Structure 1
Amino acid sequence: MHRTRTAAATALAMALAVLPLTGMAGPPGAGGNAGHDGPGDSPGMAASRSISPTPRSVQSRSDLVTITPSVTVVAGPDADAPALAVVEKSLKDAGADRVVRAQRAPVQGQLTVYVDGAGAARALEGLGARGSEGLPAEGYALAVGEGRIALSGKDAAGTYYAAQSLRQLLPHRERPGAQVRGTAVRDWPATPLRGVIEGFYGTPWSHDARLDQLDFYGEHKMNIYVYSPKDDAYLREKWRDPYPAEQLAQIKELVDRAHERHVEFTYALSPGLSVCYSSDADLKALTAKFQTLWDIGVRTFAVPLDDISYTDWNCAADKDAFGTGGGAAGAAQAHLLNRVNQEFIATHPGAEPLQMVPTEYYDVKPSPYKKALAAKLDANVLVEWTGVGVIAPTMTVAQARQAREVFGHRILTWDNYPVNDYVTNRLLLGPFNGREKGLPEQLAGITANPMIQPAASKLALFTVADYAWNDAAYDARASWGAAIGESAGGDARTARALRAFADAHYASSLNPKQAPELAAAIAVFGKDGDAPRLDGVLRTLQDAPGVLRDRLADRGFVEDSEPWLDATHAWGVAARTALRLIEATRAGDGAKAWQLRQRIPELVKNAKSFVYVDMSGKRVPVLVADGVLDTFVEDAVAAHDEALGVVGRPKGATDLSVYQDNAVSRMTDGDDATYFWSGAAPKAGSFVGLDLHAERPLGTVRLAMGKSGSPDDYLRHGVLEYSSDNKNWRQLAAFDGKAEVSAAPSAGAKARYVRARATQAQDNWLVVREFAVAGADAVTVAGGPPAKAGSALRSAADGDPATVYRAARAAQSGEALECTPDAPRAARSVVVLRPQGAPAGVAEVEVRTGGAWRALGTLSGAYTRLAAGDGAIEAVRLVWRDGTASPEVNEVILH
């Protein structure tokens, strides 16, 4: 639906039992152990099980029901066949050896299950439970107790949903004898239509994945699936053409499976790219296409008219018939849809109401288009709407009422979550959120647009089903925990791993906080310094991909998540290494800290190397807990810099969104070929900035914006500013119409923060290749050997241990590398950092004080720390031994 392709706390629990459901009475222990014995259960007793979606009413009873070797099912004459199939399979899965059907209950001592009819009504009454009379459509009653089970639906779908609830209450056992706690359930949905619309761009789901999804919908009481993959050419570009026989046969298999699962298969044909609204021939082509789908069992049809232009007609006849502008487009669309409604839907008994997607589907602002559609479109047509925004962060009752008023029709939401076709570098595994309680009753229904990854979508879709069925009891975090528990099959280790993985892929427009549990654990560590506890959290995250690959039953989830699983493991390794760096730094173990510090760049590079390959072959680097894991690693390195007494690389910041993986850190990486790229145009006040980690003298500030292919993506009007506290700012320079900005501060200027701030809004986005600040306390590096291509002498004392001076040749007799600060400095020691494996004894370290050179000692390896002695140090030099092979130095530090 959405066209955003080019647009852009609690500490982590270590024992990850599924969160209990709230807003319901019983059953106790609703965390659900998926059939495994709970710690307080006697042998053979089934642990308490949760029902999802959360029922309207659940009451626990004090009695127990035993799964006997033989179980009799007494079915009413009109009992739903799919419901009976679910009941019988669930009983066998619970340990029954035989499940037989009979017209009456057998002898005492054998479990009897009543499904609909007079027997179920009497059994429910005998158990003190109300029957299905008085319930809304799809409602049901279910009771377990006194040696019997009874379920009754308001209609066939209600009976099927009762069977699904019973399935969740019963244990999984290999033999009879399990005891199930008595329970009474009375339940019904909050909104008539609840389901999924496969409406994303990108790789369509496979046929097997769609069949699997339909099974999932039935299990979670979702009753609609809208077939609308954007890359099915027969839905859009070739909408007039009949399906090839093989593809039509696959659709029929989907339709049949949907009917078996009480899911309404909706066929959504999108003719807007080429349709002539006033054409009898196009109407005939559209209804003929619908007829081919009717013939294979489709009974619900939609005509999406999204993602098209209504300023240009596809035929001259439409301009003659309707005129021009939004109002004309609304009238033309209503004309076509009304004819479809009257000449096809109305003439096919059993057809469900026609659905449509308006071209303006994403707001509640009155317009000529909406006014025409509201006035002219047949009243019984459902209008689909995404909320206020293509991807609405929140959706309220008031907005739904406004939508109903402005469109003049019942509203079916097309909710663009957890769809990720606009952020293909991400998995969106957080819960359905930001939807107000009371919203479903304002709607004809809720359909969710899922991810390109079908199996991975199930975590979020579980929560969508929970909300759509019973929003009054919905708790996003509790539902998310229940989804994890179900997917893990009740296995605690798998649930722990899945929760850690899903937490690292939590953020979205609906869930703006990334990795909330991991972030909370890191925040706690920042306060108490308990490294072993945080290491346990990070180890769980690092190990989660392996656990999921080994133990998760849904292999589709593993296949969907492959690059993200790889990247998650790699980020776990990098973050645990960063934690060890923090520990070594705090312990004052300089050699170990430097050894760990040098491992981090390669570990981060590896973590960033994993890609998702889309259907066009584009390789998209994937993101994992971005803003949390990467920030933790960066902060660990910054803390090490501080301990060394060097400035280190500045940390970038912005209030702008990020386009794809063009992160703000790219403007401080020293590479002019990489860049930060915003995901939206700057407004007045938007900024990009640098945190220098500590207040220090400022040198020249350089801002390089724009890039090849996007030369106009720069701040057109802005100011450079600096601050010591990130609150009070002083202007350094103003600029207009320049993609390259450079400014030198006045003598003595100091700051910790520097920023470029837009003073006017603009239409172009922003690219920043490099944002750099030279230090006023610079060190001059001279001598030799000369640096090789791509390196520089200055890298040996530029305040950044990540840069390396690499000599172009071996050292010659008497050759030295000399580092001279702008002014003499008092220092307790001289530290020389070199790459891991650097040989010892290859140079004498000397300092000049009072105009004379004196020796401190020799280089001892990758990390050398030598006492500086007395006197302000005027310079440091490394006097190389003759023949020393191509020396390399990361940093010479006076500390």
Structure 2
Amino acid sequence: MHRTRTAAATALATALAVLPLTGMAGPPGSGGKAGHDTPRHSPGMAASRSLSPTPRSVHDRSDRVTITPSVTVVAGPDADAPALAVVEKSLADAGADRVVRAGRAPGDGQLTVYVDGAGAARALEALGTRDGGGLPAEGYALAVGEGRIALSGKDATGTYYAAQSLRQLLPHRERPGGQVRGTVVRDWPATPLRGVIEGFYGTPWSHGARLDQLDFYGAHKMNIYVYSPKDDPYLREKWRDPYPADRLAQLEELVDRAHERHVEFTYALSPGLSVCYSSDADLKALTAKFQTLWDIGVRTFAVPLDDISYTDWNCAADKEAFGTGGGAAGAAQAHLLNRVQQEFIATHPGAEPLQMVPTEYYDVKPSPYKAALAGRLDKNVLVEWTGVGVIAPTMTVAQAQRAREVFGHRILTWDNYPVNDYVTNRLLLGPFNGREKGLPEQLAGITANPMIQPAASKLALYTVADYAWNDTAYDARASWGAAIAELAGGDARTARALRAFADAHYSSSLNPRQAPELSDAIERFGKDGDAQRLDGVLRNLQDAPSVLRDRLPDRGFVEDSGPWLDATRAWGVAARTALRLIEATRAGDGAKAWQLRQRIPELVRTATSFVYVDMSGKRVPVLVADGVLDAFVEDAVAAHDEALGVVGRPKGATDLSVYQGHAVSRMTDGDDATYFWSGAAPKAGSFVELDLHAERPLGTVRLAMGKTGSPDDYLRHGVLEYSSDHRNWHRLAAFDGKAEVSAEPPAGTRARYVRARATAAQDTWLVVREFAVAGADAATVAGGPPAAPGSALRAAGDGDPATVYQAARAAQSGEALEFTPDAPRAARSVTVLRPRGAPAGAATVEVRTGGAWRTLGTLSGAYTRLTAGGGAVDGVRLAWRSGAAAPEVNEVILG
């Protein structure tokens, strides 16, 4: 694992504040209820409350044990070798100069550690507990006190887990003398199988990453790893083919590492794309492949039959043998799997139960397919299930019980979290959530499908391990905080940076609120206006990527997160600039506010420019705290618009999910080449909407949908509607079968909101290139010089400072740009906004009142505000100085 020397114990000590342990009823032989006292920590003393996963029972004694220069390990005759290795390394990392094994304690005052056997049993009894013999499988007992340490497992894996808990209890220091508070732990898992299934689509993990993951699983008491990457051709398309020697050697190394870490390596072969279920030859090919893996040490096998068609047979013989339909598919699959169970698993002593993934893996609805599996499939086979939904937001005890009933077999969950192959633009760094307490005991086990990014998956997988081991004590946010502390290597500054980064990548189907801590900070700022405090939060977010790159022990996490780190820093810069814009706007500093406002578009373009490159070479724009940071920036710009007295660009909204980085804001950016793209097909009632920020007269409404390559992604049947209060909607126009929609509101129509709403469900998704409403109250702009290609005179008076009139040439003698509002306006000032670097003195500013023009002054630079003197102004003119460079004007505003 990529960790510094301090990662094991010190990291978890940082998490003490978020890992409270409560006393729970003990198992048989535990002596009843156990609890703990609040420990008083002293320098060099590790904390018993830092254990993770949270133990079933932990009790803090009043004494403590000192790490002496020499430590003796007394091991039982059958003590687990990997457990002993963990114990001895942990003692050395705790400061012991010399760790020796002996048949008995030396009796010279040196610390003795008993691992299994009679010595451990006696020491545990003396310390007030019993050995691990009376505990459930993989349970353990651990005690520290009276100058000794003792650990005992129900089995070898239990002893290994006791050693992992001891590793966490011990201090991390260079010299002897560190102290450990007296502690008694009795612990066991909530469900038999706990681990990870590498089952995503996309770039499979590297060999080095898999080895690192197996180390992580063992350290967190996870005992199963399912090898099932969808894009390993030897598992799917080439399932019949033998592995090349080098690939097989790598698998053997993984199997060996898994055994050393007490992790069961499960080999999952997916023949469904081409298998003939009734074929003896295909059965022979499948079992021959399994035999190859058996020969390198694999003892657990799976046959996933997900993501295939069961209405189309791969061979005519199957149709003849089984018929057609879902029931026939279930019967065919049961036939093949039963033969694998009987002719391979049952004939290989030591083989674990066969696992399978049904084609209907995502619900609990009765069906002919499920009925066939329930009635025909060998009862020893474990059935994998994703919950109610491919990615289940919640999973309950009742659902698991129903799954057991409808499939007729023990259920092993394939939990699709934190997998991100369906949202490759995101990292999913929030905790395991939405799983009911009591669920694990209903299951044969829990396996989590991780992200394409292995090291970045550890934050979520840490919390999966916590839940699967002890769901009763599990607290998602507390576990998430402890995961951050561990990955930060115990360094407070790194932990702050990692927490800010993870918070910005928190949202998922299991954690619907995006960036909860950042969102809270922004909401608090909206209430109290404390910009300094919010700037501290945003500065921490902006600096987090450089801190993580410099200090995070797990370099794989940094590599995995590269484009998201870059984008996070850029969004931090954009958000802090938006905050300063808000401050300047509130302070009435128009020139500074306009200077900051002009920086924001480029900062946002930079923030949205970073991409993840997938295995096919596709460049996917990444997202960071979407809906939070981008909304904050948009709101800052909108507030500036309001202060200027202009409408500004409408704000888009939708109830549809977003595909990749094609955010809803792209349908209002004035660029027909960019677009909003939904992540699902619209249903009846789905909508896209514009908020015009204030009620105003409506001009032409234009909706441009579809795009090159996806011409059918438009609302097939819909209506355009408008509203002033977002509650009462009025129909403007209906449309059917048209990707380009335009409507003219009746004269005098006013509204704040305009939306396009689907009136029927459809199969295709939705692309909106542009959704725009012409401002009926925009000023008329005339004169010159003429606009350059791609620009327009009206941009200088359209109510949107983001658009720019750009002249095609330099001004000539007598040329002027003239603005006529829709009606004379009482104005105290005229403000002219121009791009950064605009020269002073390029034009005189004149206003017309009562039919006569008078001069107010000259343009002073990018921001000019001149007093108009009151009265009704019915025109503004910029009289250009002859020979001035080609003029550019963002907006002319009467205020």
Instruction: Provide the TM-score with structure 1 as the length reference.
Output: 0.96
**Partner amino acid for 1:784?**
G
The aligned residue for residue 598 of structure 1 is 598
The aligned residue for residue 271 of structure 1 is 271
Please list the CA deviations of residues 220-253 of structure 1 after superposition, one character each: whole Å capped at 9, or x if unmatched: 0000000111111111111111111111011000
The aligned residue for residue 92 of structure 2 is 92
The aligned residue for residue 30 of structure 2 is none
Structure 1 residue 189 displacement after superposition: 0.3
CA RMSD of aligned residues (A): 1.3
Whether the 8 Å contact between 1:22 and 1:475 is mirrored in structure 2 is no
**Partner amino acid for 1:298?**
V
Of 439-448 and 761-770, more deviation after overlay is shown by 761-770
Structure 2 Cα separation of the partners of residues 570 and 458 of structure 1: 25
Whether the 8 Å contact between 2:15 and 2:50 is mirrored in structure 1 is no
The aligned residue for residue 847 of structure 1 is 847
The correspondence of residues 595-744 of structure 1 with structure 2, limited to 5 A, is: 595-744=595-744
The correspondence of residues 71-110 of structure 1 with structure 2, limited to 5 A, is: 71-110=71-110
The aligned residue for residue 424 of structure 2 is 424
The aligned residue for residue 494 of structure 2 is 494
Q: What percentage of residue pairs aligned between the two structures are identical?
A: 88
Structure 1 Cα separation of the partners of residues 516 and 871 of structure 2: 51
Structure 1 residue 733 displacement after superposition: 2.0
Structure 2 Cα separation of the partners of residues 215 and 711 of structure 1: 49
Correspondence for 1:21 among 19, 22, 27: 19
Please list the CA deviations of residues 619-676 of structure 1 after superposition, one character each: whole Å capped at 9, or x if unmatched: 1110000000000000000000000000100000011111111111111011112211
Q: Counterpart of 1:586 in 2: which secondary structure?
A: helix
Structure 1 Cα separation of the partners of residues 371 and 831 of structure 2: 74
Please list the CA deviations of residues 193-244 of structure 1 after superposition, one character each: whole Å capped at 9, or x if unmatched: 0000001111111101000000000000000000111111111111111111
Structure 1 residue 701 displacement after superposition: 1.4
**Partner amino acid for 2:831?**
V
Matched, 1:440 2:440: yes
Please list the CA deviations of residues 719-774 of structure 1 after superposition, one character each: whole Å capped at 9, or x if unmatched: 22211221122222222222222222223222111111122222222111111111
Q: Counterpart of 2:485 in 1: which secondary structure?
A: helix
The aligned residue for residue 8 of structure 2 is none
Structure 1 Cα separation of the partners of residues 827 and 724 of structure 2: 25
Please list the CA deviations of residues 843-888 of structure 1 after superposition, one character each: whole Å capped at 9, or x if unmatched: 0000011001000000000000001113211110100011001011
The correspondence of residues 401-550 of structure 1 with structure 2, limited to 5 A, is: 401-550=401-550
Structure 2, gaps ≥5 residues long: 1-12, 24-34
Whether the 8 Å contact between 2:20 and 2:49 is mirrored in structure 1 is no
Please list the CA deviations of residues 672-700 of structure 1 after superposition, one character each: whole Å capped at 9, or x if unmatched: 12211111121121111011111212222
Whether the 8 Å contact between 1:27 and 1:50 is mirrored in structure 2 is no
**Partner amino acid for 2:236?**
R
The aligned residue for residue 388 of structure 1 is 388
Please list the CA deviations of residues 154-198 of structure 1 after superposition, one character each: whole Å capped at 9, or x if unmatched: 000000000000000111110000011111111000000000000
Structure 1 residue 17 displacement after superposition: 6.0
The aligned residue for residue 307 of structure 2 is 307
Structure 2 Cα separation of the partners of residues 627 and 527 of structure 1: 19
Structure 2 Cα separation of the partners of residues 276 and 687 of structure 1: 46
The aligned residue for residue 357 of structure 2 is 357
Structure 1 residue 47 displacement after superposition: 4.9
Distance change in 2, residues 1:29/1:736 (3 Å): farther
Structure 1 Cα separation of the partners of residues 307 and 45 of structure 2: 55
The aligned residue for residue 864 of structure 2 is 864
Whether the 8 Å contact between 1:364 and 1:406 is mirrored in structure 2 is yes
Whether the 8 Å contact between 1:24 and 1:55 is mirrored in structure 2 is no
Q: Counterpart of 2:132 in 1: which secondary structure?
A: coil
Please list the CA deviations of residues 480-530 of structure 1 after superposition, one character each: whole Å capped at 9, or x if unmatched: 000000001111000000000000000111111110000010000000000
Structure 1 Cα separation of the partners of residues 613 and 769 of structure 2: 26
Whether the 8 Å contact between 1:94 and 1:174 is mirrored in structure 2 is yes
**Partner amino acid for 1:212?**
D
Structure 2 Cα separation of the partners of residues 349 and 424 of structure 1: 42
Structure 2 Cα separation of the partners of residues 734 and 393 of structure 1: 36
The aligned residue for residue 26 of structure 2 is none
Structure 1 Cα separation of the partners of residues 865 and 741 of structure 2: 40
Q: Counterpart of 2:77 in 1: which secondary structure?
A: coil
Q: Counterpart of 1:810 in 2: which secondary structure?
A: coil
Please list the CA deviations of residues 260-286 of structure 1 after superposition, one character each: whole Å capped at 9, or x if unmatched: 000000000111111111111111111
Structure 1 Cα separation of the partners of residues 16 and 221 of structure 2: 21
The aligned residue for residue 9 of structure 1 is none
Structure 2 Cα separation of the partners of residues 762 and 575 of structure 1: 38
Q: Counterpart of 1:755 in 2: which secondary structure?
A: strand
The aligned residue for residue 123 of structure 1 is 123
**Partner amino acid for 2:893?**
I
Whether the 8 Å contact between 2:16 and 2:50 is mirrored in structure 1 is no
Structure 2 Cα separation of the partners of residues 452 and 513 of structure 1: 22
Whether the 8 Å contact between 1:609 and 1:621 is mirrored in structure 2 is yes
The aligned residue for residue 35 of structure 1 is none
Distance change in 2, residues 1:210/1:20 (3 Å): same
Structure 2 Cα separation of the partners of residues 529 and 796 of structure 1: 33
The correspondence of residues 196-275 of structure 1 with structure 2, limited to 5 A, is: 196-275=196-275
Q: Counterpart of 2:455 in 1: which secondary structure?
A: coil
Distance change in 2, residues 1:146/1:393 (3 Å): same
Structure 1 Cα separation of the partners of residues 119 and 328 of structure 2: 59
Of 613-622 and 100-109, more deviation after overlay is shown by 100-109
Structure 1 residue 16 displacement after superposition: 9.1
The aligned residue for residue 792 of structure 1 is 792
Structure 1 Cα separation of the partners of residues 663 and 499 of structure 2: 26
Structure 2 Cα separation of the partners of residues 42 and 197 of structure 1: 41
Structure 1 residue 571 displacement after superposition: 0.3
Structure 1, gaps ≥5 residues long: 1-14, 31-39
**Partner amino acid for 1:815?**
E
Q: Counterpart of 2:252 in 1: which secondary structure?
A: helix
**Partner amino acid for 2:722?**
Y
Structure 1 residue 401 displacement after superposition: 0.7
The correspondence of residues 805-816 of structure 1 with structure 2, limited to 5 A, is: 805-816=805-816
- Which is bigger in relative contact order (C-alpha 8 A, separation at least 6)? 1
The aligned residue for residue 31 of structure 2 is none
The aligned residue for residue 776 of structure 1 is 776
**Partner amino acid for 1:91?**
L
Whether the 8 Å contact between 1:433 and 1:510 is mirrored in structure 2 is yes
Structure 1 Cα separation of the partners of residues 684 and 38 of structure 2: 53
Structure 2 Cα separation of the partners of residues 712 and 93 of structure 1: 63
**Partner amino acid for 1:874?**
D
Distance change in 2, residues 1:17/1:413 (3 Å): closer
Distance change in 2, residues 1:219/1:125 (3 Å): same
The aligned residue for residue 180 of structure 2 is 180
Whether the 8 Å contact between 1:327 and 1:369 is mirrored in structure 2 is yes
Distance change in 2, residues 1:369/1:614 (3 Å): same
Structure 1 Cα separation of the partners of residues 227 and 716 of structure 2: 45
Q: Counterpart of 1:124 in 2: which secondary structure?
A: helix
Structure 2 Cα separation of the partners of residues 425 and 166 of structure 1: 39
Structure 1 residue 43 displacement after superposition: 4.1
Matched, 1:194 2:194: yes
**Partner amino acid for 2:514?**
Q
Q: Counterpart of 1:457 in 2: which secondary structure?
A: helix
**Partner amino acid for 2:397?**
V
Matched, 1:66 2:78: no
Structure 1 Cα separation of the partners of residues 118 and 43 of structure 2: 35
Of 370-379 and 739-748, more deviation after overlay is shown by 739-748
Structure 1 residue 18 displacement after superposition: 6.1
Please list the CA deviations of residues 432-468 of structure 1 after superposition, one character each: whole Å capped at 9, or x if unmatched: 0111111100000000000000000000000000000
The correspondence of residues 743-758 of structure 1 with structure 2, limited to 5 A, is: 743-758=743-758
